[in-house]
Structure 1
């Protein structure tokens, strides 16, 4: 008798499982958007943002994380103000460190030369002309930091490559080179 019950139960489960399957009408899908997502054009307008904008802007008055504002403008007047008033925040441990020399050798030596005489490899190969020697210029740590931040003449800005602390280290090393010329 037990065998009849087991056979009937097995047959009932088999009929139940096979009766739900239909090749012409697939089963119900949970979260169908995961399987059949809607395609969007990359730069098309979207209703996901307010007022139909293509993206959202940060609130007014905010700054990026890790960004340090620099109060001097990218003008001749800003350069002169930075030259006169801007002072390095480096402490005595950071001043004269080898890190400033390493950064100078990575970013500056190709144009300004190892001794700061304006005779780097690119100048020797005549890719850039008129790179001044540090000896011939009246420079301060503030003016060096300003020029590395914004660039001047044919020298571009290095603010994206160097943090503010690293730019101060380079300025300190440049003054050290100027004193040795």
Structure 2
């Protein structure tokens, strides 16, 4: 009796397995281009490029998402215009002195020092020379923001590290340090 059950079970499984496979009607294949991709030659021309050599450029006049347009150019004339005309858009509610201090301590203190006297750790160790004190400079909020955005002399641009809002916070903190010197 056990033998009949085993043979029946084996016969049933064989029918079940063989009934699921049909070569005439294969299963659906989702995203077939991922399974059977087109092989490209390494250095062959492609339709993804304009003339087969250079990449496509964005439409003129477009800007990156989240990018704030800064209307002053990176030149001496742009610096002077920013120094004379540029004012902070921060009001008393959005101006956070503690956040400006924290950003200053991250990005500026190593060269400019904790009080803005130009005696940071890198200057003390003579890695950079000639970092000016804020007390010695006729700076305005426009000039500080412009220098943080583009850099000046040995100081590089911090526009990639700090957003425009964060640069304004640092600018406000720098002017606070200047008033205390």
Q: TM-score, normalised by structure 2?
A: 0.79
How far does the alpha carbon of each residue in 1:23-73 deviate from its partner, in whole angstroms, 9 at most, with x for none? xxxx89947643342344777642245543554322111111111111111
Mapped pair 1:76 → 2:76: yes
Assess, with a 3 A threshold, how the Cα gap between structure 1 residues 42 and 84 changes in structure 2: closer, same or farther.
Answer: farther
Q: 1:84 to 1:41 in 2, by over 3 A?
A: farther
Unpaired stretches in structure 2, ≥5 consecutive residues: 1-11
> Compared with structure 1, are the counterparts of its residues 180 and 44 closer, same or farther at alpha carbon in structure 2 (3 Å cutoff)?
farther
Is the 8 Å Cα contact of residues 45 and 54 (structure 1) preserved in structure 2? no
Q: What is the root-mean-square deviation in Å for CA atoms of aligned residues?
A: 3.3
Contact map agreement 2:79 2:143 (CA 8 A) in 1: yes
- Structure 1 residues 62 and 120, CA, compared in 2 at 3 Å: closer, same or farther? same
- Does the 8 Å contact 2:49/2:56 carry over to 1? yes
Residue pair 2:97, 2:172 contacting (<8 A) in 1 also: no
Give the direction of change, closer, same or farther, for the CA distance of 1:165–1:43 in structure 2 (3 Å limit).
farther
SS in 2 for 1:168: helix
Counterpart mapping for 1:123-134 below 5 A: 123-134=123-134
Provide TM-score, normalisation by structure 1: 0.79
Map 1:22-171; keep pairs closer than 5 Å. Answer: 30=29, 33-40=33-40, 45-52=45-52, 54-95=54-95, 97-171=97-171
Deviations 1:80-134 (A, max 9, x none): 0000000000001233521110100000000000000000000011111100000
